[in-house]
Amino acid sequence: MQHDEVIWQVIRHKHCSFMSKITTGIFCRNPYNVTGICNRSSCPLANSRYATIRDHDGVFYLYMKTIERAHKPNDLWERVKLPRNYEKALEVIDKHLMYWPKLLVHKIKQRLTKMTQMRIRMRKLALKTREKIMTTPRKEKKREARREEKAEKAAVLDKAIEKELLARLNNGIYDGIYNLPFNKFIDTLDADELQAEEENEEEAEVEYVEGDFEIEEEDDIEDLGMKDYHIGNDEVDDEDDEVNEAEERRVRRRSKSTRGKPDKDEPGTKLKKKARVHVEVEHDDGAERHKALF
């Protein structure tokens, strides 16, 4: 069973966590305290019948506590929303606290008056433009200083380049101001990139592959290595005819060898005899010509 006097005797001697003692007096930090002063009549813990006003985002609510709900902490406080009009809010307080102690009702009305005045001052300050003091970290200041220094150097360099170009233009080095379209500049860059890619592709790549060839017979090798030749200053046409005949004979011999070519690894196969080489030499001694066959 709750006994208000016992509770106050326990918490009055510095055993309350909401007590705040300073040089001007002893105050209470409990949000449900009406006056904010730590005394017997204003303590929300030592009074089983208590009422106060609280603010939630600019809206005022009347909180009431009775001893009948003391056994249910979840439903201990009854909350009633107060209208924004000051006079109507007073009427709601008088209606709900009709049979409550007159001193408590008077303190609640004083709290409502102070909270209403505070809300009006807050609105005026919000509409008024005021200077806001903000601190900047030291690292950000150094970073901004370095950036400004670099920007100044870049600006000086750009101005120097601009002056040099204007001086050249005034001296007559350039015919005029060249305003080339930006699209042509991009096309030129693309052409350079394509040319570089083509040069990279044209570079010879070294590859190693497996050998896939057949050893030809000695006759074919000799035919490829040696030809019937005829040396003479007056018979150039005869040499062309002989070369053509030798080519025809070589083609016929190769076709015959491919048709009935025996396998070298098979036993009983006879090796072909080596073909003789006919060399025709002409000796020009004045008007006479001598031919020798070997």
Question: Residue 167 — pLDDT band, cuts 50, 70, 90?
Answer: confident
Residue 98, beta-bridge partner list: none
Per-residue pLDDT, 215: 47
Among 41-45, 91-95, 130-134, 285-289, the minimum mean pLDDT is found in: 285-289
Per-residue pLDDT, 294: 46
Report the predicted TM-score, pTM, of the whole model to 2 decimal places: 0.45
Give CB contacts under 8 A, 24+ apart, made by 217-223.
Answer: 217/257, 217/272, 218/274, 219/253, 219/257, 219/272, 219/275, 220/250, 220/253, 220/254, 220/257, 222/275, 222/277, 223/249, 223/250, 223/253
**Contact between residue 22 and residue 31 where contact means Cβ atoms under 8 Å apart:** no
Residue 50, beta-bridge partner list: 65
Question: Residue 94 — pLDDT band, cuts 50, 70, 90?
Answer: very high
Give per-residue pLDDT as tens, 112-127. 999 999 999 999 988 8
Give per-residue pLDDT as tens, 97-109. 999 999 999 999 9
Nearest to 246 by CA among 292, 289, 277: 277
Give per-residue pLDDT as tens, 181-236. 767 768 877 888 888 777 766 554 555 566 554 544 455 545 545 444 444 444 54
Give per-residue pLDDT as tens, 231-275. 444 454 566 667 677 777 777 777 666 555 555 544 544 555 555
C-alpha torsion 31→37→40→44, nearest 10: 0
DSSP 32-77: T-SSSB-STTT-SSS-SSEEEEEEETTEEEEEEE-GGGTT-GGG-E
Q: What is the identity of the amino acid at 156?
A: V
Q: What is the identity of the amino acid at 120?
A: I
